[in-house]
Amino acid sequence: MKTLLSVENLRKRFVSAERDVAAVDGLSFSLGTGETLGIAGASGSGKSTLARLLLRLIEPDAGGITFEGSDWLSLKGSDLRHRRGRIQMVFQDILGAFHPSATVNDALGDPLRIHGIVAKAERSSEIARLLERVGLSSAHATRPVRELSGGQRQRVAIARAIASRPSLVVLDEAVSALDVQLRNRILELLVELQRENGISYLFISHDLAVLRAVSHRLAIMDAGRIVETGNTTDIINHPSSAAGRALIAAVPRLTPGGRPTNTMQKSEPTHEP
């Protein structure tokens, strides 16, 4: 497998008068073409900061990123603008990721136009096709993104990320607002695109069942570092880090037959090895 992305000893610290947070504290990993790396970790462990560093939305204090064979951090100006679209992201804060007055047409049409994906005449049929793939209809195209439901908005964000046919998509809690049927459908879509086009994914999720379904490898983050990495199933079956064990033990489980009402029991560790 060819290496698409490699990250070397990346660091980012946020310092203000009150707080000093080593959000990303010496991260190294690599990702192959057509591979999915799942990232799990407690809230605040640095997952979104890593994502924003990869997108060049913030600059690291130290470390290196090699992407598609070149030094990603030294890209500047028009070179950066040119290649930036090769990495797309679905943001955790979906509402903040869209222009407040954008319609669905704008959100999907812009990347198609900017990256010259389809001819102008075909743009609206491409938008309809993208919407259909994420379980929306072309009737949604003229709606303001702000006036969609949370899950509908999340799907527009996913459609936008795949619209420009990038080589890497960073998904930050991208399916967290979707009901199970839709989530399965979207995950299948992502896996299918990967099989067809060799897209790589960095898949950040709090949901280990989701990560287990789609990731080839899993990395567990804790306090800005990767504390454990390896084959997804192996880690879920035998987590070796304390952070990994805690996350896996707390997965909510459907309790058929339910519990007696009005008694809240702490759920048991849910996993049988």
Partner 1 sequence: MTEPLCRITDLSVRYRHNTALTHVSLDLIGGERLAIVGESGSGKSTFARALAGLLPDNAVRDGDIQWSSERAPRPGRDIGFVFQDSSASLNPVLRIGEQVAEGAKRHLGMSWKAAYAHAEMLLDHVRIPNPSAVMRAYPRQLSGGQRQRVAIAAAIASRPSILIADEATSALDTVVQAEITALLDRLVSEAAMTLIFVTHDIALASNLADRIAVLKDGRLVEIGPVSDILADPKSDDTRNLLAGHFDLTSAPLIGGQRR
| Residues of this chain that bind ligand ATP (CB under 6 A) | 14, 21, 23, 41, 43-49, 92, 147-152, 177
Based on CB atoms, which residue is closest to ligand ATP, 27 or 130?
27
Q: Which stretch binds partner 1 (CB under 8 A): 62-70, 103-111, 117-125, 178-186?
A: 178-186
Q: Which stretch binds Mg ion (CB under 5 A): 15-23, 26-34, 41-49, 52-60?
A: 41-49
User: What are the helix (H) ranges across 100-241?
Assistant: 104-114, 123-133, 150-163, 180-197, 208-214, 232-237
Q: Which stretch binds partner 1 (CB under 8 A): 74-82, 115-123, 160-168, 202-210?
A: 202-210
Token code pair at residue 137: 């209809």
Q: Interface with Mg ion includes 269 (CB under 5 A)?
A: no
Q: Interface with partner 1 includes 79 (CB under 8 A)?
A: no
**CA distance linking residue 98 with residue 50, whole number of Å:** 21
**CA distance linking residue 246 with residue 250, whole number of Å:** 6
CB of 220 closer than 8 Å to CB of 244: yes
**CA distance linking residue 231 with residue 219, whole number of Å:** 9
Determine the 3-state secondary structure of 204 from DSSP.
strand
* Residues in 7-66 at the binding interface with partner 1, rule: CB under 8 A: 14, 16-19, 32, 35-36, 40-44, 47-49
Least CB distance to ligand ATP at residue 149 (A): 3
* Residues in 206-265 at the binding interface with Mg ion, rule: CB under 5 A: none
Output the residue with the shortest Cβ distance to ligand ATP. 151
Least CB distance to partner 1 at residue 67 (A): 20
Residues in the chain: 273
29 sits in which H/E element: strand 20-32
Contacts for 19 with CB less than 8 Å, ≥ 6 apart: none
Q: Interface with partner 1 includes 272 (CB under 8 A)?
A: yes
Binding stretches for Mg ion (CB under 5 A): 48, 92, 149-150
